[in-house]
Structure 1
């Protein structure tokens, strides 16, 4: 029997891992799925630019490989799941309100204490995301693709946009419990809901960049499933 290859899935937070790891392992049952947490948004992290973002992502894969004694040849593909955070909306949808604490997202706008900081973050993030979205291979010849949760994973999976860390943790466990024995139900939820973006990979990215879609509830994650057309 041929040795199973690794499907390496990159996510932003531990609650993302809790929600998806078991389900993705069942979906990619012919392979070994490892979900790796970057503990923050690598696409908007200070110092990350289109000139170095590929190296930053590659470093995450390489570090994991080294720590676990894997070689490049052990990897089948890298799947990167990101939040859009409204990064493609126009500046007029960013509202400044000095009375708010943390940044607040809605399907129509972003409200923050400092509008300019969000505008600058969005510009930087979308340049990095555009670079990643146009990248088919990473760390040599490992197939790479990036998929979005809009406005974030909690928005797509639980229809919540501004969850606390405690809510994220609780919701992720409930979600995993709901679908742990219903993989087909999970696949239908991701691929066939009114928020699911189908078509091909390129057109799904063109869609999320339009208007206020990157604030609305959308995902193209279903396109990564083994029986989808990528």
Structure 2
């Protein structure tokens, strides 16, 4: 009987040694493994919601100059200001997309207004075939609040044309503000005017809410 016990103990000893060696290797590996970085804890604090509170509108037309050409025909240019009211927003940039009828007006141009001091022009494109003004500008300084002129549009009526036309804001028009990840444009009002008289008559279009 004693010999049987000795034989069983002798058979178990190698298995026990192997088990202990494996366990030791695992423990050493775990101890030497680099610490895994903990996942960042989500910031559950409520962030202040930025409300779209800005509006854009086009002013009534006014004459800006008159040049006499060799034919002695008067070439009269007109201007409309793109006006902004920021409400509670602190605006850092504006992108304008404005539609017009190239069959009725020509020599269209757009220039920065006085709302931004020393603005940076990011985009200026006038598609004379489709009749679309694409213009973007902004500031590297802090956002501005209040009202003012962000840009001015100038044009010349085509000779001999008559009819109703308009400057119309398109859906790509955008107002960018501090701490806002989307446009803060609340509403925009285009400009309707008549050509054919000595002086074009204009009226503001109904505001379009977004």
TM over 0.5: no
Query: Which one has a bigger Cα radius of gyration?
Result: 2
| TM bin (shorter chain) | under 0.3
Higher helix share: 1
Give the TM-score normalised by structure 2: 0.22
Give the TM-score normalised by structure 1: 0.20
